[in-house]
Amino acid sequence: MHNVLNTLYVMTPGAYIRLDHDTVKVEVERTTRLQAPLLHLSGITCFGNVNLSSVIMQRCAEDGRSIVLLDRAGRFKARLVGKTSGNVLLRRAQHRASDDEERCLGIARSCVAGKMQNARQILLRSAREAQTAEDAERLAHAAQRQALALGRLKRATDVGQVRGHEGEAARAYFEACNRMIRSDRDEFTFSGRVRRPPIGRTNALLSFIYALLLNDCVAAAESVGLDPQVGFLHVLRPGRPALALDLMEEVRSYVGDRLVLSLINRQQLRPEDFDILPGGAARLTDAARRRVVTAYQERKQDEVRHAFIDRASRWASCRTCRPNGSRGTCVATWRCIHRSWSVDRRPLPATS
């Protein structure tokens, strides 16, 4: 099994990150609070007022390790990367594929099929674990709607139709999400996805974890020289990492939503771990944010069966193919773009 490098998350205000030979040291008020070998890190993510030395920024840029700057709430601010890696012909092929309606349809349909199937499995699992018959019935009905959407997805003839089926399935999924919350449901009530700002505790938690996942997907695309802003499912807009958003669709429910449900249902997060702002917006406290990041890192170590390489692998490795030990991006997308391999040839997941 390939080793999965960790991401160093630094959240302490006023912390200073520097490099001592090949060791990363985090200092707070001139006291070393943490040190780790640089070779064990894939990147560094800083929340709020965190300082970095020029030496460690230059070294990370040279090695291809990303440095991401977020505000205290987890909103993206900046990313430090070195010279563009990968093959210019790869990026050229990516741009051409994005302009090819047939190839764009195949890739987009595959991304959405994986998202629907994973969402369906989560709904079915929650239905089996439901505490009341009404919850079980509603969750099973939502799972059936995912299956029906999967069937219609096969007949989609353009990307616009794929987006329509994805939106319909997403509405059915989020309408049932509140039924999956078994602990403190009144405090963590969820009536739908609301962003900018996230309304309610569950929305705030989802937004924070989705931000972490998106940053990982952007880093995966950039690590092999793909353009994270040129995607196939999401509409291209200035500043929008469309390819990274495409890559995270399949794992969004498995990694993000399941983690949110685990943290709530196991009471690892309580209502007092959130600050409620005027207007109903919610925000994680500093202590709760640290616990969420720790849980996210642990979730990345979970093993799944990789469909393409046919072996057990940590989910972080499934998101990033590493041929010959090198870092890379999603194996499906890499094959689609670089080898003109059509994702449309991959059978859609069964709906039975």
3-state helix, strand, coil in the chain (%, to 5): 50, 15, 30
Tell me: pLDDT of 343 over 50: no
Residue ranges and CATH numbers for the domains of the chain are 6-80 (3.100.10.20), 88-110+184-344 (1.20.120.920)
Give the other-Cβ count within 10 Å of 241's Cβ.
Answer: 24
Across the range 93-118, mean pLDDT stands at: 89
Kindly give the interhelix angle for 133-153 and 159-177, rounded to the nearest 10 degrees: 180
Length of the chain equals: 352
Three-state secondary structure call for residue 136: helix
Encode pLDDT of 125-142 as tens digits.
Answer: 999 988 889 989 999 999
- Give pTM, 2 decimals: 0.78
Higher pLDDT, 187 or 318: 187
Three-state secondary structure call for residue 191: coil
Confidence of residue 297 (pLDDT cuts 50, 70, 90): confident
Alpha-carbon torsion, ordered 105, 331, 174, 166, to 10 deg: 0
Across the range 136-165, mean pLDDT stands at: 90
Encode pLDDT of 217-269 as tens digits.
Answer: 888 887 777 888 898 988 888 888 899 999 888 888 888 889 999 999 898 98
Q: pLDDT above 70 covers what percent of the chain?
A: 83
State the pLDDT at residue 309.
Answer: 58
Q: What is the phi/psi pair of residue 143, to 5°?
A: -65, -40
4, amino acid identity: V
